[in-house]
Structure 1
Amino acid sequence: MSRERKAGELIVSAMNERKISYKELALRLERLGIVESAAQLNRKINRRRFSAAFMPACLDAMEEETSA
């Protein structure tokens, strides 16, 4: 399995575990200064075309409210 595929699956898996939709992820990322629509996130994650910095940003955004 490629690293790109693993990275995409890690984000989707984290979203599923936390029951976070693409829309909710978009809202949380916006708080971190990353503005992308839910549709853009869906395409980016499923095509596995994102920077190395994007994955930890997504994971941080998902943790933001679940750890509070």
Structure 2
Amino acid sequence: MPQQTEWEAKAAGLLKAELKRKGVTYAGLVERLSAIGIEEKEVNVANKLSRGKFSAAFMLACLSVIGVGSLHLD
């Protein structure tokens, strides 16, 4: 299995940190994504975040549904 790139790890870490900061579980994220028409399974979300392999559009949708209005990338 290929190792995560630095950027994949950063993207996954950032999204996981925001989920934790907002107190949203993967199950809660799946429910919120469903409410805006994005159908995902909890296991698929967990796999995407553990691999760091997801689109920018998926990340933006996730951040939006959990109420993140701004990010600090440092």
Aligned AA (1:44) = K
**Alignment match of 1:56 (pick from 34, 56, 60):** 60
Q: CA deviation at 1:4?
A: 1.1
TM-score by length of 2: 0.79
| 5+ long unaligned stretches in structure 1 | none
Q: Percent identity?
A: 34
Q: Which has the higher helix share?
A: 1
User: 1-side partners of 2:36 and 2:27: how far apart?
Assistant: 15
Q: CA deviation at 1:38?
A: 1.0
1:63 is paired with a residue whose SS is coil
Q: Report 1:1-68 matches (<5 A).
A: 2-63=6-67
1:53 is paired with a residue whose SS is helix
Select the structure of larger CA radius of gyration: 2
Aligned AA (2:56) = A
Aligned AA (2:44) = Q
Moved over 6 A (4+): none
User: 1-side partners of 2:66 and 2:17: how far apart?
Assistant: 11
